[in-house]
Amino acid sequence: MTAPIRTLDDRIRPSDTPDSPLDTQEYFINMGPQHPATHGVLRLMLKLDGETIREVIPVLGYIHRGIEKMGEAMTYRQFVHLTDRIDYLSALVNNWVVARGVEVATGTETNDRIEYIRTIFAEIERIQSHMLWWGVLGMDLGAFTPFLYGFRDRETLTDIFEETIGCRLTMNYIQPGGVMHDLHPNFVKRTKAALAYSKSKLHEYEELLSGNVILQERTRDVGILSAEDAVALGVTGPPLRASGVAYDLRKVEPYGVYDRVDFRTAVGSVGDCWDRYWVRVEEMRQSIHIVEQLIDNIPEGKTMLMKPAKKIVIPEGVYYNQMETARGILGMVLVSDGTSDKPYRIHLRSPNFNNLWALDAMSRGGRLGDLVANVSSLDLVVPDIDR
Amino acid sequence: MNVFGSGPGIERRVNVANNDVDVIVAPRGSSRPPGIISWFRSVAIAIRSLLTGMRVTAGYLFGRDKVVTQQYPENRETLEMNERFRGRLKLTHDDNGYMNCNGCKFCEIACPNQSIIIKDRRNPVNDKSELDQFIWRLDTCTFCNACIQVCPHDALEWGQDFEGAVYDRRLLVYTLNSYAGPQARLIERAIKKDEQPEELKATIEPRSRYGTGVPLAGDELPGVPALGGEDKEST
Ligand code: SF4
Ligand code: SF4
């Protein structure tokens, strides 16, 4: 399956057959880079015919920091802390991708305790990321209340991070060979309390927003992304699953301890904004379920198996490794020349970059007002697109 | 059946890449049948859905026990940070007030942002290398904890102070150690073995927060006068 390749010239050329009986003209407007609904410095060039979208052309580079290039000047252990900053709402999974890449390349085995801790934290982070998305989606669609509620409930989960790790957002916690700190003695108690709280709040979300007529009207059959388009464009994560493709790395290629827990993959059937909305809300429930299964069975063991001050030299070669973040598949290509303790080249396959291009496919032919719902339902984190 | 179709999903089992995967499919509800009566019904459902949401918000409006906002900065006195909170880098000291750092530069090497600059000097009494100045650049620090993790002497820790805003960026680069001199362990050993402890203690020299040798801090910038050696900013 391949998507047709269209150059920028193709995209900005006026369409041949404007389907309006009036003598209309196509025009361009810029949405962003400073637009509250693009969640960061993302610029969208919109080719419009009246209010109908003919083309969405994303313009990137406003928050490019060259993280991959910076990685070449850092040791593997130092590079981990930069990955916090690509997709800051999945910081721990980003750390984990680097950590696992290095572990696979050097042939380091981790123990069960480390994998349990990593999995639990990754799932808690997924819940908090989706909670924030839920609030922001509500705000994008015109309801301010969900924004406050989403942030409020997310606090209880970031408190868990702060207690064990010391940070709330950019954590640098999962490292090659283990995790930075052992769990805080309070961890199990606090996590259970936070999960119970989150569960009750999910019910509230359902009442407040899911059943709401305005949300339903604005998301139903809006921004439909077919399964073929989604696969061809390399869309991953909740948008892919909402299009009906039940592809979740946690199920298909389990890492951590996902093969030992029972959970369901949430999928949609149409691929509209409503499916993407529901898939994420259901994923929060499933993540709570996963953590509940693991939290009582964390085995004993060491939490760091490599000495922090020791040099890590990876044998010469190219290594790839991927994981499912809250937004889709994050992959890391790591090239080592086998002599230095720094990577020769690092490339990240970030989920948001691919998901962004689906915006054109799902918005074309739709209305300008629905574009905001589409952007919101993709849950884009712009620093992850530009890196 | 709810016309808007929110509610529990439908459980199924599908085959993906030769794996059986349990999926749960998003509910779609049912579309409204034609007719005026069903139109009125859908309007009633719509209004009810709005009222349900308002019931939730009203619960917060009138439920005083549900207040979550913290009154910062009024609650500064009672505010307690978590013990592992990464606030501001500090050097640890032993019970007698001597620091544990010996200037080994492990932290400087581990720091990904070159935020730590260690200057060493040689002690005339025991002829050992020791810390002269520990310069920390708060402005480029990303609070990654790498320095604390590698320190072999547990000489670094996080303070709980997070109010780091200043009006002059030169104030963000400063010396962490309050004195230059031998590590606590060496002083202790000198006292125990009676190897010139008083002479060793006499080599201790004070260091000020914005003293000389700190890049940026102290220096004159175009249009900005030099800061001088004293602490211009408490905390
Ligand atoms: S703080 Fe620790 S690692 Fe850094 S120089 Fe001092 S003893 Fe060495
Ligand atoms: S916390 Fe990280 S960035 Fe900051 S001084 Fe320590 S090693 Fe450097």
What value, to the nearest 5°, has the Cα angle with vertex B199 and ends B194 and B203? Answer: 135
A10 is a domain residue: no
Does the C-beta of B113 come closer than 6 Å to ligand 2? yes
User: What's the CATH number where A179 sits?
Assistant: 1.10.645.10
Distance from CA of A255 to the nearest CA of B (A): 15
B10-16 and B19-25 beta bridge pairing: antiparallel
Place of tokens 């040689």: B122
What pLDDT does residue B74 have? 86
Cα of A273 vs centre of ligand 2, distance in Å, is 42
Q: Report CB contact under 8 Å: B6, A252.
A: no
How many Å apart are CA A58 and CA A352, to the nearest integer?
Answer: 12
How many Å apart are CA A297 and CA A113, to the nearest integer?
Answer: 9
Does the C-beta of B114 come closer than 6 Å to ligand 2? no
Handedness of CA A35, A39, A44, A47 (dihedral sign): negative
What pLDDT does residue B231 have? 45
Facing residues of A317 across strands?
A: A336
A52-59 and B116-122 beta bridge pairing: unpaired
Cα of B165 vs centre of ligand 2, distance in Å, is 18
Distance from CA of B94 to the nearest CA of A (A): 23
A55 is a domain residue: no
Considering every ligand atom shown, identify the ligand nearest to the alpha carbon of residue B185 and give its number: 1
Record the pTM: 0.86
Considering every ligand atom shown, identify the ligand nearest to the alpha carbon of residue B87 and give its number: 2
With H, G, I as helix, E, B as strand and everything else as coil, classify residue A160.
helix
Q: pLDDT tens per residue, chain B (235 residues)?
A: 345 556 677 777 777 667 777 788 777 777 777 788 888 888 888 888 888 888 888 888 887 677 778 888 888 888 888 888 888 888 888 888 888 888 888 888 889 888 898 888 888 777 888 888 888 888 888 888 889 988 888 888 888 888 878 777 777 888 888 888 888 888 888 888 887 778 777 788 888 777 766 666 556 655 666 665 444 444 3
A152 is a domain residue: yes
Burial class (CB in 10 A: 0-12, 13-18, 19+), B234: exposed
How many Å apart are CA A58 and CA A48, to the nearest integer?
Answer: 14
Smallest CA-to-CA distance from A55 within A309, A303, A318, A361 is with A361
Cα of B128 vs centre of ligand 2, distance in Å, is 26
Q: Residue A197 is part of which domain span?
A: 67-374
A288 is a domain residue: yes
Give the A window 148-177 contacts with B, CB below 8 Å: 152, 155, 162-167, 170, 172
Two structure tokens written together for B193 = 């073995």
- A56-69 in b/e form (b: 16+ CB < 10 A) is bbbebebeeeebbe
Greatest mean pLDDT among A185-194, A308-317, B216-225: A185-194
Cα of A166 vs centre of ligand 1, distance in Å, is 21
A181: nearest CA in chain B? Answer: B149
Which residues have C-beta within 8 Å of that of residue A229, sequence separation ≥ 6? Answer: A3, A235, A243, A358, A361, A362
Q: Report CB contact under 8 Å: A278, B57.
A: no
Cis before B197? omega within 30: no
Of A31-40, A261-270, B71-80, B158-167, where does mean pLDDT reach its minimum? A31-40
Handedness of CA B14, A241, A205, A374 (dihedral sign): negative
Distance from CA of A172 to the nearest CA of B (A): 6
What pLDDT does residue A119 have? 92
Smallest CA-to-CA distance from A384 within A151, A208, A129 is with A129
Does the C-beta of B85 come closer than 6 Å to ligand 2? no
Distance from CA of A159 to the nearest CA of B (A): 9
**One-letter amino acid identity for A129?**
S
A88 is a domain residue: yes
**Residue A103, H or E segment:** helix A91-106
With H, G, I as helix, E, B as strand and everything else as coil, classify residue A4.
coil
DSSP letter string, A73-85: TS-HHHHHHHHTT
How many Å apart are CA A245 and CA A266, to the nearest integer?
Answer: 10
Does the C-beta of B117 come closer than 6 Å to ligand 2? no
A11 is a domain residue: no
Place of tokens 């031998």: B182
Split at pLDDT 50, 70, 90, the class of A97 is very high
**Residue B185, H or E segment:** helix B184-193
How many Å apart are CA A188 and CA A298, to the nearest integer?
Answer: 9
B173-175 and B129-137 beta bridge pairing: antiparallel
A245 is a domain residue: yes
Does the C-beta of B190 come closer than 6 Å to ligand 2? no
Ligand 2 probe mutation, B147, B150, B157, most atoms within 8 A of CB? B147
For chain A, how many helices (H) and strands (E)? 15, 9
Domain count, chain A: 1
Cα of A300 vs centre of ligand 2, distance in Å, is 30
Contacts of B46 in chain A (CB under 8 A): 213
What pLDDT does residue B7 have? 66
Handedness of CA A82, A237, A121, A194 (dihedral sign): positive
Tell me the per-residue pLDDT of A212-258, one tens digit each, with 9 for 90 and over: 878 888 888 888 888 888 888 889 989 998 888 888 888 888 888 88
Does the C-beta of B143 come closer than 6 Å to ligand 2? yes
A214 is a domain residue: yes
